[in-house]
A = this chain, B = another copy of it.
Amino acid sequence: MNKHKVFFQPGDILVEATDGSTLKEAMNDAGLEFDFLCGGRGTCGKCRVKITKGLTTPVTREQEMLQAKELDEGIRLACLTRVSNDMTVELPNRKELKHNILITSDERVFEIDPHLHKIFIEVAKPSRENHSSHWRRLKESIVQQGYKDSELESTISILRQMPDVMRSANNQITAVIYRNEISGMEQQDTTKTMLGMAFDIGTTTIVGYLLDLYTGKELSVVSTLNPQTAYGADVISRLNFASHEENGLIKLQGAVVEAINELVTEAVQKASVTRDQIYGISIAANTCMHHIFLGINPQSIAVSPYVPVLSEPLVLNASELKISINQAGKVFILPNIAGFVGADTVAVLLATELERSEDIKLVIDIGTNGEIALGSREKIFACSAAAGPAFEGAQISGGMRGAVGAIDHVYYRDKLEYSVIGEGKPLGVCGSALLDAVAGLLELGILNKRGKILAFDQLTNPAAQRFKQNLIQYEGQGAFLLAEASLTGNGRPIMITQSDIRELQMAKGAIAAGVRVLMETYGIQVQDIKEVLLAGAFGNYLNPHSACVIGLIPPELESKIKMIGNAAGTGAKLALLSSSEFRRAKIIAEGVKFVELGSYPRFNNIFGESTYFNIK
């Protein structure tokens, strides 16, 4: 069928619309929810849009509903106008727009509800009749736009700018308003632009998303290695550095702030915009990264009972944190739940809407610490499982991060096959391949329940026969060869050793024990869980079947697994685009019941049992 391009502004949203379909349908396709008060029957006249390219002849009903002047200007009703050629359509009042944001395949609809507002005003000039102060005359103009005078507040920084800005702009000003505070004053009309960035500050990686705060459109995505890695690879070493090294906290904070400022630079360059157009950033991070970013000593997180200094959400001026965006800019920091269940988990829960779900779902964000949440709208429990770095390739003989050169998946076919990230010669194995390799060994009967690699003559499964040459000895113990030295990029063989398997058992045991404790605490059986949502990079890379075979995830749930991408990033975006979502994050953080695994009765036994494999 014939298709046409429809380009919506503001927001630069392009969709293809079938010939003869209505603009209303195209708006739906574009994810632009609009209040069609009469249900799209052309009777309320509220869906006025302005067609600036590809104007159509108005239908009779439009001629009745609209004035001649409006028709001449290109005003049409979206519900009645049919697409017959490429069009550019200008949408009215942004407040009425709703926006869809994608979580992998699922659509998560929310309403854009900006934290900050911009209004263009013309401030009365001082005269003998009106000799009130600059600030009073400015307030009077703002009050005319529906704000309450008594509630409007200024800051010393704005007052200091006021004389110059008002003079230079000839009293024509755009006021940036956060709640009741005038947070910015700009010359002339800048109301059309308001950008923001959502950040997910991980221990290893920082990701930033540049968004249009009016439309929700993503303009660019940037990421970098967290430069704090230079001071320690994991959370615990950062905690120690911050607490015990001289100026440790200041160094770590400086490093992350600098990284964020560099990501801002990169993101605005990619999108051909300026950093001054950015008025808000949101932050999702684990509790330790959160504290360090704020310059708060995280020492109390390091020792039992692992309490954070702050769990509440926070809004700060970007300038207070030396974040280089517009000087009116605000930083929206998502709340934490506990010392090891941080704002990143809250962001994941915000994205997954667990607290609104009728079904019980299990949400796992696997990293060095696996944050696990189990719940529904009835209640939510969460814990942090100290998985250690095995899933990230550390402490594994040939382990590496999921970077170029890493074997990322392993297949037991006629012979052993594998895929390599970047498709060159392999340099090592990353976590997902470790899962595949061990899962295959279990299915072939090469590994026993306790994780021991059996000798070739102990194997009973005929299918195991063809991997005879992969079964080798290494440092006096059994090992399984994935790639011999001649095939690798660095001339060293890549194998899975007995101790690699022990490391994996510890890691998967920690997660599995956490899941079990949460189920016990909730009082449910595994079959009560209707969905397993895997968040985070590793969660999106692993083979769900392998995860279930090794018992990282209960095997009964294999068909219920869904990957949800960087849900922490998605949550950060939601919190940035919508002040009601940001408020919801607080409710979520307060509502989640934190379960401290270390003090759970019989936890050591549960963990020990969970390190075993369940051989069917």
A contacts, CB < 8 Å to B: 126-128, 131-136, 154, 156, 159-160, 162-164, 294-297, 299-300, 304-312, 314, 316, 320, 336, 338-339, 594, 596, 599
Contact B160 A127 (CB under 8 A): no
- Please, how many angstroms separate the alpha-carbon atoms of A160 and B300 in the complex? 13
- Please, how many angstroms separate the alpha-carbon atoms of A574 and B300 in the complex? 44
- Please, how many angstroms separate the alpha-carbon atoms of A136 and B594 in the complex? 15
Please pick, from B136, B295, B300, the residue contacting A312 in the complex, using a CB distance under 8 A.
B136
Q: Which residues of B contact A300 (CB under 8 A)?
A: 126, 134, 163
Please pick, from B128, B163, B296, B336, the residue contacting A162 in the complex, using a CB distance under 8 A.
B296
Contact A311 B136 (CB under 8 A): yes
Contact A339 B594 (CB under 8 A): no
Copies of the protein in its oligomer: 2
Contact A308 B134 (CB under 8 A): yes
| CB nearest to A297 among chain B residues | B163
| CB nearest to A320 among chain B residues | B156
Known: A127-B305, A164-B297, A305-B127. A311 touches B159 (CB 8 A): no
Please pick, from B309, B339, B596, the residue contacting A128 in the complex, using a CB distance under 8 A.
B596
Contact A156 B294 (CB under 8 A): yes
Q: Which residues of B contact A127 (CB under 8 A)?
A: 305
Contact A131 B296 (CB under 8 A): no
Please pick, from B128, B159, B309, the residue contacting A310 in the complex, using a CB distance under 8 A.
B159
Contact A132 B596 (CB under 8 A): no
- Please, how many angstroms separate the alpha-carbon atoms of A543 and B306 in the complex? 74
Please pick, from B131, B136, B339, the residue contacting A131 in the complex, using a CB distance under 8 A.
B339
Q: Which residues of B contact A339 (CB under 8 A)?
A: 131
Contact A135 B305 (CB under 8 A): no
Contact B309 A133 (CB under 8 A): yes
| CB nearest to A303 among chain B residues | B126
- Please, how many angstroms separate the alpha-carbon atoms of A242 and B380 in the complex? 60
Q: Which residues of B contact A135 (CB under 8 A)?
A: 309-312
- Please, how many angstroms separate the alpha-carbon atoms of A596 and B294 in the complex? 50
| CB nearest to A321 among chain B residues | B156
Q: Which residues of B contact A310 (CB under 8 A)?
A: 133-135, 154, 159, 162
| CB nearest to A299 among chain B residues | B163
